[in-house]
Structure 1
Amino acid sequence: MVTTTPSQSPFVDPAELVADPYSAYSRLREAGPVHRITGTDGLPAWVVTRYDDVRQALADPRLSLDKRNAAPGGYHGLALPPALDANLLNMDPPDHTRIRRLVSRAFTPRHIARLRGPIRETADSLLDAIEPYGHADLIASYAAPLPITVICDLLGVAPHDRHDFRSWTDALVAPDPAQPHRAKESVRSMLAFFTRLIADKHASPADDLLSSLIAVRDDADRLSEDELMSLAFLILVAGYENTVHLIGNSTLALLSHPDQLSAVRADPGRLGGAVEELARYDGPVPLAIRRFPTEDITIGGVGIPAGETVLLSLAAAHRDPHRFTEPDRLDIGRDATGHLALGHGIHYCLGAPLARMETEVALAALLDRFPDLALDVAPDVLRWRPSMRSRGLLGLPVRF
């Protein structure tokens, strides 16, 4: 039996977790390690706020990603067809172990390393297009199209087929309550697209990740068609969604901290370390993907019943003063090793090397091109995606 109860939680309006997440999570973290809150979906959840607890929970095998372990009547996410739902974000061992092993055989450092040159070429081409105007929305014209191009190159999607990806992923990750049909339409569109794409790769394999995933073997084991399609779907959505926001959030953070921007410009070799600090300071994922205890558990001295929804707050953990000195301060000289923006444990992001490299190249190209880059609006008028699980700008007007 679970007997431990949480301390009295401060009231947090779910909307505040979108508008001002760091202040909201700071109040929760200071009040206690674990709190029962109501999410923006109207459902209750347990949110874990302190670094040590979050890191330990990310690797706790009793916290399941499998939605079948959710309590009846509790969590209900977007309903995906089996052909898109059989992905690593919904799996526990042994299925997760098997698929991760197969994917790792295809998702090799060679696939990633060969993309550095093309990423820089794409970045430079996008900057060529906006340079004559002297101003731009960096999300629409740079941070968003760059990851889409990279992921399509990685998967082997022909240029003439690169359509609607941004609208599809936007509709899934941050659905518009006024247009509930858009998410379902996007699911149907993506299912049809990947069905056709995988059939084409079966017929005419090429030197790309999707062809490698089709061909990968481990003795007699291989990926099923549903697993292939779900992986392609996950790579597209996660590879686009997280990277566009990491690039956008990082650019805003540097423009808002002139001393840190000057430090990067003075020594471009520091940019790799700066990306780690930028991911800690304002990463694209405030909350790790929901988890469900397979048994009654205790986190931070608080008992949580089996099957209830647990949210691990990376945003709160990254501003925990017991782990990071002056955590609300951006410091590109900080050793940000140990940040959790790309996960921890068996669910550590498989695409982490690509996300790091892509962000580093994107920032380097941007800062090289525009030495006088500056915000073109007051920071307080910038709008953020209306989601407590995804932190990203809807637009980033700049001048140069």
Structure 2
Amino acid sequence: MTGRRWDMGATRRVGRVFARRAGSGPAPLDLVGSGKLDGALVDWAFYRDGRRDTKIGSYVDALTRARRDDGFVWIGLFQPNEQQLAVIGSEFGLHPLALEDATEAHQRPKLERYDDTLFAVLKTVRYVPHGTLTATSEVVETGEVMIFCGPGFVITVRHGDHGELKGLRQHLEKEPKRLAAGPGGVLHAITDHVVDSYLEVADAVQADIDVIETEMFSPRGWRNIERVYQLKREVLELKRAVAPLTGPMRALSTGRHPLIADETRNYFRDVDDHLLRVKEQVISFDELLSSILQAGLAQVQVAENEDMRRISAWVAILAVPTMIAGIYGMNFDYIPGLNSPSGYFVCLAVMGAACALLYGLFKRNRWL
């Protein structure tokens, strides 16, 4: 849940690597064969007319075809390091600031345009299953997907152990019409996939809130107040992933860009609608949990007041025999009944009657 760290040193390092490679002529194209992307490359392919060209066996041919003919290259990376992104940046002409953001995790969801390239940052979320919600349970786990979308290429950079896009790529390859829309179509498919995961997580969190709400308003439910606080923190994590994305999604659904066809922009409107729905749902979660938390605090105060009334009632009851015993414990010669054979028993009877009377009064007023 840490915010963005503005590391100017990292910016300069990426910029120097980028400038050095860009200024020394074309960089080697065979990134896969040279091992420069080892450990970071998940998958890559060249798509033309919506279909994967399996005849292209090298990355050199794929990139050349993408630059020369219709079609595009889709490269998937997982947590690449600075040098690997610098190589990618030199090949595709990516801006150093965008490369810095792709290197650093914990970015805010956003959409930026660098000349003819779009750079999008999306927060991925995953619901963490748990048996019983505790004061330390992790309910929502977040990651990130960065997308470079330009003429003839899509580069996805993923941070986090979840939110993988391999299944999405396979699904799209079964629908050539969507891939035929080019890089803009892939951008839409990824945003749609991420927003759909928001809806699934929101439904799961709703079930947790229903359980904690029921328990909170049960007898002695204020004991669950720490669990409410923990769930509220997890909802805020979900809110930080969803809420900032509304601006970028609205820009994709209403703005014009050469990479996004008019028909694809219509689909972005549908994604924007789903995002607004889940945003409203998450905001309502936050407000509901705030109300439950306040109700829990009120229950704590009521319980404390009830305890104080019980203590005060018993103190008042015990004060009567204490007072009488204290008076008769004085060393005076002339105290009524002191020398009477029945004085002791009369004193005990008076104490018992006074205590019984006070107990009845407090019981009737529900202090006991």
Q: What TM-score comes out, normalization by structure 1 length?
A: 0.24
Which one has a larger percent strand, Structure 1 or Structure 2? 2
Which one has a larger percent helix, Structure 1 or Structure 2? 2
Higher relative contact order (CA 8 A, sep 6+): 1
Q: What TM-score comes out, normalization by structure 2 length?
A: 0.25
